[in-house]
Chains A and B, each alone.
Chain A
Amino acid sequence: MSWKLTFLQQIVDADIFVKSTEMSPHIELYQIDDTHWQQLAQIANANQLRWAAGFAVQSGEQFHVHACFERKGTYLLFRTTINGSKPQLPSQATVYAAANRSERHTHDLFGIEFLQHPDSRGWTRHQAWRRHEYPLRHDFPVTGAPAEITPPDTSYHFVEAHGIGVYEIPVGPVHAGIIEPGHFRFQAVGELILNLEERLGYVHKGIEKIAEGRTPEGLAKLAGRVSGDTTVAHTWAACMAMEQAAGIHIPRRATLIRGIFAERERIANHLGDIGAICNDVAFTFAFMQMMRLKELWCRTNYELFGHRFLMDKIVAGGVNVDINDVAGKFILIEINELRVELAQLIPAMDLSSSLEDRIYTAGYLSPQTAELFGTLGFIGRASGQDFDVRRDAPYAPYENVKVKVPIETQGDIASRFWVRYKEINASLKLIEQFIAQLELLPEGDLLASWVIPDNGRFGLGIVEGWRGEIMTYVEFGRNNAVSRFYPRDPSQFNWEPLEKAVLNNIVPDFPVCNKSFNCSYSGSDL
């Protein structure tokens, strides 16, 4: 804890007034003055705190702007309040690269100006609403005033490169494969990538706005669709935040089932993506085998719980489906079968020299760059970022099991491949432990009774999804209605490292580099 005392002492020494309250065992809230916003970031950066999220909340004529920092599993949520008539705040993106797109998002949706921000271009807004309108302000109607046909955004200034033999490749938003839409702008010489710039925001669906006024049930459903491949973890984070706001504790059995669902989701995605990486280097054998394993895994989800991706199974207050003894035993048998399959497959893949040739050293993300952008999840862990919410800020049911966190420092596609394989094994062990604990508890105790949160109560849900740490803020207004929902997907911090990882790779290797990151478009566009 000494780093925290040192950090807070430095803040006090800098004459920054701080008022603190504890939100949960891992999270504390600090209110500070707006003039010190950037200075706070400087002190936090000097104390090696990670910038973990930034978002705003409108309260009457004022805006509360938040920045969350983390170190060693302790989260410090800072809040400052600014006047709504001309909302301005010194930018933290000058200190933290991770804050860059987040602040631009907040600007586009709230009209809060971040002074000295290194990038004056918009981010989330294309042309669906006018330049000086801000959808997340209370006076902006959810329907907006859109044109019959929203024109494409042609005003975005991409970085340009000039020189003999330099050329540009624009890709997207509609891609050649079955993937989400986004635009990539490459500058290349021959086959070599000189620069890559991402332009996202195409799947901005107004999630934060349409969440307003929802009931806890409605919000859980929406959260489950922030990013469809992460439906379990996003629903969990939102429900955790809502339960914190309501001040309720969910039954132990429900936490164990949530844990099993989250680990099943992690395994399903890791299996699929390991296969997809192989597909992108034309190693069809491994692709088909991994897709087969993933299909079997999803079918079990369907047979036992009624949904292949476990959508809408987590609800505010608990879960709505039990895992009885028979289902538990079935899951344990399936785990052993998967282990046998992987024991045959993975060594065969490891011995493939063509796979080795394509994934070793390609798509290199250095530990320094990973740290700079606050890279999360398996991408961070493949580049030496030793962090996992389940181990470092454990929430039920992870607080009394051993969570093994595989780390590599090589930072290439192969590292991400192997970290994901090791995480499958770690997850299988976790599921076994959770099922063993389930057997000791009475069946059917799945839901805590809901307590309507007072007006203004809020919570911050933090869980480790398969892509990494998800941080979700939920605030309630009157009558059990949600007044603010902000889900921060790990992709928000993992997209920019991809821009760096592809440098000096060849253009044809971009798909496999991209797949090895597999960031969410929907989760970051909101």
Chain B
Amino acid sequence: MLDIFKKIVTTGIVTETYKAAYDEELATLGIEIKRRIDKQFSGSLAIRQVDAGSCNGCELEIHALNNPFYDVERFGIHFVASPRHADILLVTGVVSRHMQTALLRTYDATPDPKWVIAMGDCASCGGEFGTSYASCGAVSNVIPVDMTINGCPPTPLVLLKSLLTLMEK
């Protein structure tokens, strides 16, 4: 137990102590996001992530949002376990035809008002996989999309920035 406390103390709070330009931008961005969320969503933004046919690359970067560097929850953004609790559907991947009905049902299960973000090149425009016998291509071919985030995969920082843009709409 002492080892754990020692490590916690010596590690410190990485979220604030890193002073590289990379992270300064992150801190400013975070404050801005927090302000928007406070105003428009009473301090809390619930995201339900749906992998509709991703290669799992985007998922790794969404995970990274929760690491201590980005610590996205401090801004009131959290990932929820059910679409019924969500304000936003964050959809990754092309929509594989085998996932089409599942995505439509997830969309229907999300209460209004709701937003859909298509994350990554596949979800935005079809990426490497495009449209085929097995793939519906971009998410907008299946459900209405409010915003797209490009990148393969988009970095966590780009993800945060994009959330901000959505809220400016």
B81 touches A177 (CB 8 A): yes
Contacts of B132 in A (CB 8 A): 142-144, 205-206, 209-210
A203 touches B51 (CB 8 A): yes
Q: Does B43 contact A (CB under 8 A)?
A: no
Main secondary structure of the interface of A (DSSP, over half): loop
Contacts of A145 in B (CB 8 A): 133
* Nearest A residue (CB) for B64: A295
Q: Does A128 contact B (CB under 8 A)?
A: yes
Q: Does B153 contact A (CB under 8 A)?
A: yes
Interface, chain B (partner A; CB < 8 A): 1, 3-4, 6-8, 10-11, 14, 22, 49-64, 66-69, 79, 81-83, 93-94, 96-102, 104, 106, 127-136, 152-153, 155
Main secondary structure of the interface of B (DSSP, over half): mixed
Q: What's the least CB distance linking A223 to chain B, in Å?
A: 10
Contacts of B69 in A (CB 8 A): 292, 295
Contacts of B6 in A (CB 8 A): 344, 348
Q: How far is the CA of A521 from the CA of B11 in the complex (A)?
A: 35
* Nearest B residue (CB) for A210: B132
Q: List 7 A-B contacts (CB under 8 A).
A: A152-B101, A202-B99, A205-B94, A226-B55, A295-B67, A309-B60, A347-B3
* Nearest A residue (CB) for B2: A348
1/0 contact string of A329-361 vs chain B (CB within 8 Å):
000000000000000110110011000000000
**Closest 8 A-B residue pairs measured CB to CB?**
A144-B133, A228-B57, A206-B134, A348-B3, A128-B97, A228-B55, A176-B81, A291-B67
Contacts of A149 in B (CB 8 A): 100-101, 104
Q: What's the least CB distance linking A147 to chain B, in Å?
A: 9
Q: How far is the CA of A180 from the CA of B60 in the complex (A)?
A: 11
Contacts of A143 in B (CB 8 A): 131-133
Q: Does A106 contact B (CB under 8 A)?
A: no
Q: Does A380 contact B (CB under 8 A)?
A: no
Which of B1, B3, B56: most chain A Cβ within 10 A?
Answer: B56
B81 touches A146 (CB 8 A): no
B63 touches A128 (CB 8 A): no
Q: What's the least CB distance linking A23 to chain B, in Å?
A: 28
Contacts of A141 in B (CB 8 A): 133
B67 touches A292 (CB 8 A): yes
Q: What's the least CB distance linking B140 to chain A, in Å?
A: 15
Q: What's the least CB distance linking A521 to chain B, in Å?
A: 7
Q: How far is the CA of A412 from the CA of B16 in the complex (A)?
A: 38
Q: Which of A129, A142, A180, A295 contacts B59 (CB 8 A)?
A: A180
Q: What's the least CB distance linking A355 to chain B, in Å?
A: 11
Which of A144, A150, A285, A344: most chain B Cβ within 10 A?
Answer: A150
Q: Does A415 contact B (CB under 8 A)?
A: no
Contacts of A209 in B (CB 8 A): 132-134
Q: Which of B3, B58, B129 contacts A351 (CB 8 A)?
A: B3
Q: How far is the CA of A150 from the CA of B53 in the complex (A)?
A: 14
* Interfacial residues of chain A within 100-159, with CB under 8 A of chain B in the complex: 126-129, 135, 140-146, 149-153
Interface, chain A (partner B; CB < 8 A): 126-129, 135, 140-146, 149-153, 173-174, 176-181, 201-207, 209-210, 221-222, 225-229, 231, 272, 285, 288-289, 291-292, 294-295, 298-299, 302, 308-309, 311, 344-345, 347-348, 351-352, 520-522, 525
Contacts of B134 in A (CB 8 A): 128, 135, 144, 204-206, 209
Q: With A203-B51, A205-B134, A292-B14 known to touch, is A225 a contact of B97 (CB < 8 Å)?
A: no
B66 touches A311 (CB 8 A): no
Contacts of A181 in B (CB 8 A): 51-52, 99, 102
Q: Which of B66, B68, B106 contacts A174 (CB 8 A)?
A: B106
Q: What's the least CB distance linking B105 to chain A, in Å?
A: 8
* Nearest B residue (CB) for A293: B67
A150 touches B97 (CB 8 A): yes
Q: Which of A202, A210, A520 contacts B129 (CB 8 A)?
A: A210
A231 touches B3 (CB 8 A): no
A146 touches B133 (CB 8 A): yes
* Nearest B residue (CB) for A290: B67
A129 touches B155 (CB 8 A): no
A344 touches B63 (CB 8 A): no
Contacts of B62 in A (CB 8 A): 178
Q: What's the least CB distance linking A472 to chain B, in Å?
A: 15
A178 touches B128 (CB 8 A): no
Q: Which of A152, A178, A227 contacts B63 (CB 8 A)?
A: A178
Q: With A142-B132, A203-B54, A228-B58 known to touch, is A178 a contact of B102 (CB < 8 Å)?
A: no
B98 touches A126 (CB 8 A): yes
Q: Which of B53, B56, B130 contacts A227 (CB 8 A)?
A: B56
A180 touches B97 (CB 8 A): no
Q: What's the least CB distance linking A181 to chain B, in Å?
A: 5
Contacts of A153 in B (CB 8 A): 98
Q: How far is the CA of A229 from the CA of B55 in the complex (A)?
A: 8
* Nearest A residue (CB) for B57: A228
A180 touches B133 (CB 8 A): no
Q: What's the least CB distance linking A402 to chain B, in Å?
A: 31
**5 new A-B pairs (CB below 8 Å) besides A126-B98, A178-B62?**
A150-B98, A289-B7, A292-B11, A295-B69, A525-B96
Q: How far is the CA of A231 from the CA of B61 in the complex (A)?
A: 14
B51 touches A179 (CB 8 A): yes
A520 touches B14 (CB 8 A): no
A311 touches B152 (CB 8 A): yes
Q: Which of A127, A146, A311 contacts B57 (CB 8 A)?
A: A311
Contacts of A222 in B (CB 8 A): 128
Q: How far is the CA of A209 from the CA of B131 in the complex (A)?
A: 12
A298 touches B64 (CB 8 A): yes
Q: How far is the CA of A227 from the CA of B59 in the complex (A)?
A: 11
Contacts of A227 in B (CB 8 A): 55-56
Q: With A227-B55, A228-B54 known to touch, is A142 a contact of B99 (CB < 8 Å)?
A: no
Q: What's the least CB distance linking B82 to chain A, in Å?
A: 7
